[in-house]
Structure 1
Amino acid sequence: MASEKIVWYKVLDNKKELPEGRVKTVTAAHKGICLTHFEGKFSALDNKCPHQGGPLGEGSIENGMLRCPWHGWDFHPCTGLPPGGYDDGVETFEVKEEDDAIFIGLPEEDQHETTVSDIMAETMVNWGVTKVFGMVGHSNLGFADAMRRQEEKGRLNFYGIRHEGAAAFAASAYGKLTGKPAACFSIAGPGATNMFTGMWDAKVDRAPLLALTGQVATQVVGTGNFQEVDLVQAFGSVAEFNHRVQSDSKHAELMSLAVKHAILKRDVSHLTFPDEVQERNTKPEEKPQTPEKRITSLEIAPPKQAAEDAIALLKKAKRPLIVMGHGARNHKKAVVQFAESLNAAVVTTFKGKGLIPDNHPLGGGVLGRSGTPIASWFMNEADLLVAFGASFSNHTGITSKKPIIQVDFDPLALSKFHQVEVAVWGEISRTLEIFENELKGNINTFDQTQEIAERWDIWKKEKAKRLLETSDTGVSSIAVFEAMNQLTPENAVMCVDVGNNAYSFGRYFESKEHDFLMSGYLGSIGFALPASIGAWTAVGASRPVVAVAGDGGLCQYLAEITTLVKYEMPVKLIVLNNHELGKISKEQRAGEFDVWKTSLSNPNFSEFAQSCGAWGHRVEKEKDLTKAMEALFNQKGPAVLEVITDVNLI
């Protein structure tokens, strides 16, 4: 029989790197080796102790024996044999010296055999999930290796983040912007539980998301093993599709169903991969799947009676108001075209900010607590509200005292909080086609264009007055957003945090061709910076990405600035630093409580950014704001502008 082919790998450039009596871990091909230098001889042993897999290369030579660092078992440094003639020694490999270098000879590696993880990773990519945010660790290495192979083929991008919570927020933001799922990825236990908040953010804002978690071996689930959490049970409340991958699962089908649920339900899917399953070889008949003929069109027409009732109300309306929520994001052109046929004002929820530009003749700005007096004025004057993809939350400000037509793809969202006159279940663009066909020649609405322009003029004069309010404590938020109105690229994706900065943003920043991403229903602080990572992976160099955060929110995921730097993401981050959780202080006062525990001790954010390798600059005076913001937007790479602001000038 032919002998095995031996391949030689250089593991030390200079043998002086390993002194006499010492050991170290080296890697040859994919194999971990314990390299020893004992009694003048270099030897190579399998790095795994045969008992618990302890890394022998991290051990030490004591009394002439190599001691395992995990449980103290001894092996001879050259032969790998234990004392006393036991049969649990470790394998040894050939070593040779050439000049001063050390080489190890190993049998030629076998070709890679397809694993469960390979089948599932390829199926995931085939279904369009090509962006993954996460952290590689001990309980997800098999699936990580499968994703590595997909990335090497140019079919997937993996972004290593600094906290799994940021991974989930990035995936959520990607889903909100594109309507397609990205994946977040973690180890078992704490890595997985760190993703929980971002998963909920995606769920309540109806963004598709795929969560992938490693898991300890199936046999120890439920025993209190290290980092053992029953993740199927833990994620039962947040994941619409929630399964443990098993050895006998239909692996490609399981991944297909997970992605399909995320897309069609606009919800969270979760798969957890026990350690022993990830590297298991597949059966020859198992092949990756594709979405071909597996997913239906969503162009659903509304029930006939609902459409007729809605059309009857529209024919009678003189001053209809169009309300666009986040659910109308993919239909904004159709909704605006419909509004133009009615000459009706269009306002948005905060989550829907920017779906119609503020400089559009029919644009009325944002409704509710983060909104403008323009939107609230038209709400008051309307004789009919036509809401598309809006959720009617308390923050939105849609009055229930007006006749309402509500159009939504989700029947559970219709009349969710109170009865509406006409609830229309259907895909928005398809529904609008029916409305427009039936309304031809039957529109009797008042042209609101001139009135909208007048209300904007009044609001802009009010903003100009507020700009005169100054302070020695810091710059006003009004001044910050007015500078952004002048200098922010008109097609930027804007990622917004939670807090007073968000309220000011909604009220003062004037949208053009922007898209806006925020933690809407969940209202989770810390969203903006991780969201900008997800946004950049969606748009790349085609559009600028801007994140706006308060000091409280930014500190939640501050280390992700290093992620921007590592992947050369040219995100522009503006942080409003008032050394306070200003929104909470405001709520304490409103509730007639004492202001308590809301002050913050912050780093110099601009210097922190510089230490991470990004551009950073700090502004303390309003006179320096415009020049600094111009410099921010002129940077080619990631950049942070810190503005010291007055908490009372919002």
Structure 2
Amino acid sequence: MTTKQAELDWIKVADVEQLPEGRVMTVTARTTSICLSHFDGQWAAMDNRCPHQGGPLGEGSIEKGVDGACWIRCPWHGWDFDPITGAPPGGHEDTGQQLYDVKVEDGEVFVGLEPEPDHERTVTDVMAETFSNWGIRAVFGMVGHSNLGLADALRRQTVAGNMRYIGVRHEGAAAFAASGYGKLTGKPAACLAIAGPGATNLVTGLWDAKVDRAPVLALTGQVQTQVFGPGAFQDIDLLAAFAPVTKFSQPVLTTSNHAELASLACKSAIVERDVAHLVFPDDVQTVPSDADATSPAGRLGQPVIQAAADDLEKAREMIAGAKRPFIVVGHGAVGAMDQVLSLVEALKAPVVTTFKGKGLVSDSHPYAAGVLGRSGTPIASWFMNECDLILTLGSSFANHTGIEPSKPIIQVDFERAQLGKFHPVALPVWGEIGAFCDAMLSTPHQHADQAEEIAERWAIWRAEKESRITDDAGKGLGAAVVFKHLSALCPENAVIAVDVGNNTYSFGRYFETKGQRVLMSGYLGSIGFSFPAAMGAWAATQEDPDYAGRPVISISGDGGFGQYAMEFTTAVKYGMNITHILLNNGQLGKITKEQRAGHFPSWQTDLVNPSFATFARLCGGHGIKVTEADQIADAMQQALAHDGPSLVEIMTDMELV
């Protein structure tokens, strides 16, 4: 061994029997990809990347010329290289390959590399550090050929303990997980994809985040800048594709101010509660950079908007003059619930939530009157019908909620465009909801305490629910009995991600909250949301101190779970403690009912399903199937107690909702 060879780091890359005579293979030493060859009793190693278009030489072949010389041939376009010199047949030095020393000892093959140099800081290192400084603590995605430099920068942040990376099976799940994380915490998570189809797979989940005002950071790879435009493999105009779904979307170029670009993306997601998007061309990701990362210090103001004094005075007059005020809380009030409940208790008035706001007010609160609208309770609609003033806080007046427009309405929202969006209201108030409620606390009122009346209405509704528990048409269990048990067993601090369909309507109607947070695909109503969103919520319980230790539950039908069923393996891989409640009725039940309601025949809504409980066990999780009502409680208790992902498959009747 020469002096130079003695100074190398010798790294085992293969056993001799792994590579027969006359063959090549790809091996990895540290992070270096190498083409290892075995020919004419010799061993050789060279850079695995063909200089033409990056073809993997280790997947090629050894060819012999007419003169008996050996050549390593690239499998992509047939370029040849001498395994001993690395030179092509023509001898052009600028297309020659880097060679590595090889030795064989005791049946093992070693490649000698220079001692590993210090990591050279890159553009994506600067940006990943900036993301971390802005509080990006979770990244969901798929690593691929056009985001490798960016992925390595994220890997370094993960190794340093600054963020958590979760590799998913489909990019759509990554976007839904990031959306769920943002809906729960109000802080952005990131989703990562490659160029082309990887990026476009994100779009549905990003639309879910956008329309529900959840902050998300989308990071997409892109083809090299030199092949933009003419139709290279996986080259699509990502800025155009993402323009409708993003508030901020920019390419990362060699000339960009990279730290500032990363800061602007994070700030846009946080302040606008929207989707921010960055496009990373492949060749830009590893460009060296000595720039410093930036942080949010000095860039964010307090998010308190005080309503106009005249509006506050008018609101006091309307509340003071009402005999039966009625309070509606939407998801927009999520950050101000302490102030909202203080006002509710001061006014002693019934408070309901929109379905999207379910859980913001515990159903055990003495003034809680359930959920208003299609997915709601008769308690809520009764008090709305009997009221003479509606005070809505952070509600968008969605048609599913059905707030009665003929009633006098005070609408309070921190988004000015939401005020009177669908029809005029008596008093639109632009301001932060918590500040408004604080200002109203001293408002005098002469109406009676409605707590006793609320309790009476709850008693009527609970008796009705109890009467439905034993319904049985011989086709499966009813939703009332399922959610009776879940209401009793669900931990009060749980985060619950729900899907769409009959199962979700029944959840809104029957499940009684006691402090749980509920996540849903509110305005997009996307099937398949619940399990990926639960993965996002689980990540929040690991990374956000405000949610540490909270159990995570997801609920869906068989149609919804089938959309991203393989993400159950993702949950197994990362040890996610998620309990999934699956109501299996063998079809897209809500669509079947819509067909009937429209006087169409039921068509193409039936489903062929595996045993989902068995599927969960095959994936490495806990799975149990329920066919009888007396099995529900034990099955749920087992699943909730399981340390890791679990699934309870309940065979249900779509008519009993």
Aligned to 1:125: 132
Aligned to 2:86: 80
Q: 2:11, 2:112 within 8 Å by CA — same for their partners in 1?
A: no
CA-CA distance at 1:86 after TM superposition: 4.7
Q: 1:258, 1:271 within 8 Å by CA — same for their partners in 2?
A: yes
Task: Map 1:499-514 to 2 at 5 A.
Answer: 499-514=501-516
Task: Map 1:100-249 to 2 at 5 A.
Answer: 100-249=107-256
Aligned to 1:42: 43
SS of equivalent residue, structure 1 residue 336: helix
1:352-407: CA deviation from partner (whole Å, max 9, x where unpaired):
00111111100110000000000000110111111111110000121111111111
Aligned to 1:411: 416
CA-CA distance at 1:523 after TM superposition: 0.4
Q: 2:182, 2:214 within 8 Å by CA — same for their partners in 1?
A: yes
Distance 1:3-1:10 versus aligned 2 partners, 3 A rule: closer
Aligned to 1:544: 551
1:535-568: CA deviation from partner (whole Å, max 9, x where unpaired):
0111235111000000011111001001110110
Q: 1:9, 1:29 within 8 Å by CA — same for their partners in 2?
A: no
CA-CA distance at 1:108 after TM superposition: 2.5
1:451 and 2:456 correspond: no
Which residue of 361, 371, 382 maps to 2:376?
A: 371
1:394-452: CA deviation from partner (whole Å, max 9, x where unpaired):
00121111111111110011111110111111111111122224x1xx22122110000
Structure 1: runs of 5 or more not aligned: none
CA-CA distance at 1:8 after TM superposition: 2.5
Number of aligned residues? 644
TM-score by length of 2: 0.96
Q: 2:13, 2:28 within 8 Å by CA — same for their partners in 1?
A: no
Aligned to 2:10: 9
Which residue of 522, 525, 530 maps to 2:524?
A: 522
Q: 2:323, 2:447 within 8 Å by CA — same for their partners in 1?
A: yes
Structure 2: runs of 5 or more not aligned: 65-69, 543-547
* Counterpart-to-counterpart distance in 1, 2:153 and 2:13: 29
Aligned to 2:429: 424
* Counterpart-to-counterpart distance in 2, 1:628 and 1:51: 59
Q: CA RMSD in A?
A: 1.5
Which residue of 643, 647, 653 maps to 1:640?
A: 647
SS of equivalent residue, structure 2 residue 103: strand
State the one-letter code of the partner of 2:27: V
Q: 1:4, 1:108 within 8 Å by CA — same for their partners in 2?
A: no
* Counterpart-to-counterpart distance in 1, 2:6 and 2:227: 39
Task: Map 1:558-577 to 2 at 5 A.
Answer: 558-577=565-584
SS of equivalent residue, structure 2 residue 555: strand
Which residue of 278, 295, 298 maps to 1:290?
A: 295
Aligned to 2:340: 335
State the one-letter code of the partner of 2:30: A
Percent identity over paired residues: 55
* Counterpart-to-counterpart distance in 1, 2:6 and 2:157: 29
Which residue of 72, 76, 90 maps to 1:66?
A: 72
* Counterpart-to-counterpart distance in 2, 1:260 and 1:49: 41
* Counterpart-to-counterpart distance in 1, 2:619 and 2:388: 55
SS of equivalent residue, structure 2 residue 182: helix
Q: 1:369, 1:396 within 8 Å by CA — same for their partners in 2?
A: yes
* Counterpart-to-counterpart distance in 1, 2:4 and 2:26: 28
SS of equivalent residue, structure 2 residue 244: coil
Aligned to 1:467: 469
Aligned to 2:318: 313
Between 1:77-86 and 1:404-413, the stretch displaced more is 77-86
1:89 and 2:96 correspond: yes
Between 1:6-15 and 1:26-35, the stretch displaced more is 6-15
Between 1:101-110 and 1:174-183, the stretch displaced more is 101-110
* Counterpart-to-counterpart distance in 1, 2:459 and 2:337: 25
1:90-137: CA deviation from partner (whole Å, max 9, x where unpaired):
222111122222211122333222211111111111011111111111
* Counterpart-to-counterpart distance in 2, 1:514 and 1:449: 22
